[in-house]
Amino acid sequence: MTQTSHNGAPAGRRVVITGIGALTPIGTGVEGLWAGLKRRESAVRTISRFDPSPFRSHIAAQVDDFEPTDYMDRNRARRTERYAQFALAASRLAIEDAGLDPSAEDPERAGVLMGSALGGVAYGENQFTNYVHKGVRGVDPMLALAVFNGAASCNVAIEYGFSGPNSTNGMSCASGAMAIGEGWRAIRTGEADMIIAGGVEAPLAPLCYGAFAIIRAMSTRNDDPSRASRPFDADRDGFVMAEGASVLVLEELERARARGARIYAEVLGYGTSNDAHHMTAPRPDGTQAGRAMRTAMRTGGVALEDVQVINAHASSTPLNDSTESRAIRAVFGEHTDKLKVSGTKGYHGHSLGATGAIEAAISALSIQRGWVAPTLNLETPGEDCTLDYVTGEGLEMPVRRILSNSFGFGGINAALMFGSVD
């Protein structure tokens, strides 16, 4: 007979979040991120990192206050580029927030799992410019070690000596959520006791940015940047690119309790699927997105009527938002109208592979602090977006169960189920 856990899920070790490290356009660290949410203001602006005039879109959400040497020595900062620096900085913030002493960890029981859509490609783009103008002597000798996705998880592992599970997946806009889900799985099955997990993205270079503008995926509301990302709104016209990183410390519950750790929330379940339909368009009926949600609830032993809040992917694109709405209704049926739905990309933009990890951090904070952030810029929901959205000042409420969705190019779907610790 299959054993079950306290909450009806298949037996396995329980996994909790004990540290959060955030580098986002709305704020840095736990309190910076929370203060940014409470301000209820968008960080989207006209791009200053480069000249966007050749493209239809001119706006993004930038992290403008990042100084690498605040988080690492000058030698390490000199040997890394923005993508790896984000990973190192967010990991340090998370470890400090968790009150961990890395030197006291069993290195083989500690791992690093990250996600990123583009890795260090933006840095490679800049180096190609150097090559064109200066020849091979103008190229950074560390280029080969900077551009691959694994630079995120490997640099963090080297920094702290963690030799347990290690990878950086490249599954588009679901990759940060998938890294957290795989971290949950590694601890739950006993492969590790502690995992540093999250998402990192530093895509703001002309060609990386322009690639998405060329396929008309991004908003062209250039004259009103702060209102450009408008999830579920009838006037949404595309996503707004962003950069950022979010890293969580995941630990086995009893280990966390034994060391007196503050616990934000429990990772209850995880689901992933693929639409097997199209590289950029979601499957119209949303069935596979729905299956990821059902799997997250099933593996977490959570009945659908116990879910209170959906942290939606809510990318502000015409197709995604309507498909996600359809999928939620198909999954939750009559319970749908009791759900509160929040999409936070109006705040921080869409940082591709990092966004699911940022939203995981926001979900954990919602549980710990009893407040659900509003969906900014949602004025009139689209006719195909019929859910009960959190708007205005946000919603003060005890949050015990929250489902967070992340969907990406290639038809990849991921869902994470979070809960308060009993």
CATH number for the domain that contains residue 407 = 3.40.47.10
Four-residue CA torsion sign, 166, 117, 89, 82: positive
Residues marked active site are found at 173
Please choose, from the candidates 10, 419, 396, the residue with its C-alpha nearest in 3D space to the C-alpha of residue 189: 10
Among residues 210, 228, 258, the one where a domain terminates is 258
The answer to whether position 9 is within a domain reads: no
Residue in this structure with the two tokens 């699927």, named with its chain if needed: 273
The answer to whether position 1 is within a domain reads: no
Same domain, 126 and 226: yes
Same domain, 386 and 275: yes
Same domain, 73 and 206: yes
104-159 confidence digits (pLDDT tens): 999 999 999 999 999 999 999 999 999 999 999 999 999 999 999 999 999 999 99
Residue in this structure with the two tokens 């996994």, named with its chain if needed: 15
Q: Name the token pair of 418.
A: 């979070």
Among residues 223, 258, 293, the one where a domain terminates is 258
Looking at the predicted structure, is the pLDDT value of residue 77 above 70? yes
The answer to whether position 34 is within a domain reads: yes
Average pLDDT over residues 236-241: 98
Range of the domain at 116: 15-258
Same domain, 393 and 319: yes
Please choose, from the candidates 255, 291, 246, 256, the residue with its C-alpha nearest in 3D space to the C-alpha of residue 407: 291
The answer to whether position 31 is within a domain reads: yes
Number of domains in the chain: 2
Task: Provide φ and ψ at 382, rounded to 5°.
Answer: -60, 155
CB 99 within 8 A of CB 257: no
Cα angle for residues 183, 420, 42 (degrees, 5° grid): 80
Amino acid, single-letter form, for residue 263: I
Among residues 211, 231, 258, the one where a domain terminates is 258
Same domain, 70 and 167: yes
CB 402 within 8 A of CB 421: no
Amino acid, single-letter form, for residue 272: T
Residue in this structure with the two tokens 């004990």, named with its chain if needed: 18
* pTM recorded for the entire structure: 0.96
In this structure, the strands spanning 15-24 and 395-396 are unpaired
Average pLDDT over residues 257-284: 97
85-111 confidence digits (pLDDT tens): 999 999 999 999 999 999 999 999 999
Q: Report the pLDDT value the prediction gives residue 111, as an integer from 0 to 100.
A: 98
Amino acid, single-letter form, for residue 188: R
Cα gap 332→354, rounded to integer Å: 27
Same domain, 286 and 194: no
Same domain, 63 and 99: yes
DSSP line for 281-311: SPPTT-HHHHHHHHHHHHHTT--GGG--EEE
* Segment (H or E) for 72: none
323-338 confidence digits (pLDDT tens): 999 999 999 999 999 9
Looking at the predicted structure, is the pLDDT value of residue 374 above 80? yes
